[in-house]
Amino acid sequence: MAERIEAQLVYDTKSQALSAGVRAVAQRARRVLYTADETEVVLQIAPDREPNRRKLAGQVMDEGMPVEGAAVSLHGDASRVGQETDEDGEFQIGSLPRGAYRLEIDTPARTIRVSPLDIE
């Protein structure tokens, strides 16, 4: 059985401004970084086509290498969405209502949990 660990928040553009010297034309997407041992979970939360909906894009890296085939599941109050990471360790989930979610990522080495994940 894989080890279960809670990911720790490292960076969130919602609460931390861009570094001096970094320029952006439009900062519409929120970027978040979590770590769990040697695994990094990079997330981007952006507006979707429908008002009050968001899309979540992410990448899972273990020791700097993409994790292909990790099972990603997002649990909300009324729904659960799942998919696998591609060869670059990336995944995308669209049309999410705003709210609090729990994100779980099952890799061969461990199960990583991000909770709560606020989709705003």
Q: For residue 93, what pLDDT is reported?
A: 93
Task: Output the six-digit token pair for 89.
Answer: 């360790």
- Nearest CA to 74 among 103, 111, 114? 103
Model confidence, pTM: 0.85
pLDDT of 18 reads: 55
d(CA 119, CA 106) in angstroms, rounded, equals 21
Kindly report, residue by residue over 9-47, the tens digit of the pLDDT. 998 888 766 555 555 544 578 999 999 988 999 999 999
Q: Which residue has the tokens 């360790």?
A: 89
- In the structure, what pLDDT confidence band is assigned to residue 105 with cuts at 50, 70 and 90? very high
Domain ranges of the chain: 3-14+27-119
Maximal CA-CA distance, the chain: 46
Q: Does the structure show a pLDDT above 70 at 117? A: yes
CB atoms within 10 A of CB 47: 13
Helices (H) and strands (E) in the chain, counts: 0, 11
What gap in Å lies between CA 76 and CA 116, rounded to an integer? 10
**CATH number corresponding to 3-14+27-119:** 2.60.40.10
- Percent of the residues in the chain that have a pLDDT greater than 70, as a whole number: 88
Residue 26: what pLDDT?
Answer: 47
